[in-house]
Amino acid sequence: DARVTQTPRHKVTEMGQEVTMRCQPILGHNTVFWYRQTMMQGLELLAYFRNRAPLDDSGMPKDRFSAEMPDATLATLKIQPSEPRDSAVYFCASGIYNEQFFGPGTRLTVL
Amino acid sequence: EDQVTQSPEALRLQEGESSSLNCSYTVSGLRGLFWYRQDPGKGPEFLFTLYSAGEEKEKERLKATLTKKESFLHITAPKPEDSATYLCAVVTSGNTPLVFGKGTRLSVIA
């Protein structure tokens, strides 16, 4: 049963620290998305890649967030420095054609 | 700007009490409308994709329908295990990011 995996599942850190979240997309999916979910805003797109090339990262604060796909099996989202307002659940999704499948998320708490 | 609005925000049903969730959308050109189910602490789980007005899809107690302006998720004789947040999303180009509504939190009471 192919699934998107994300690590870590939970992260608590202090303001100013670097946070790295990892995602392994479903094998064969050519598009990877990073979303952030909060109670107030719901699910919002941060960035996405197709065939490992970044297509849109306009949803990310560029001065602190970065997203990369070093290879087809790994996508990363980094926050440096982290701030309390970054506390949220971060989801990775992978897709092919129009269907997207989500990972279990990383719950980030920045103190 | 593409917009997706879901109503109601929350819905409480007795077991067996059928109802519908609404998803209205304003987009420049709809390529697909998606329904997801999200349980607490988990990622959204794909349910349906609808592509054109008049299309319907069913899965167990759920049926999704689509018109030119909105979609409905009909829940027939719900059970407590149907309790979850149901998310609607649209896409306007192939294999591009979804635009999500805020979701409807459904609670089914035994």
pLDDT band at B94 (very low <50, low <70, confident <90, very high): low
Q: What is the residue whose two structure tokens read 């620290």?
A: A17
Q: Say whether A98 and B91 touch across the interface (CB within 8 A).
A: yes
Is pLDDT above 80 for A97?
no
- pLDDT tens figures, A16-47: 999 999 999 999 998 999 999 998 889 999 99
Cβ–Cβ contact A54 with B under 8 A: no
Question: Looking at chain A, which residue has its C-alpha nearest residue B43?
Answer: A104
Q: Say whether B103 and A31 touch across the interface (CB within 8 A).
A: no
Beta strands in A16-103 (DSSP E): 19-24, 31-38, 42-50, 53-56, 65-71, 74-79, 88-96, 99-102
- pLDDT tens figures, A2-11: 899 999 999 9
Q: So what's the pLDDT on residue B95? A: 61
Q: Say whether A99 and B49 touch across the interface (CB within 8 A).
A: yes
Cβ–Cβ contact A2 with B under 8 A: no
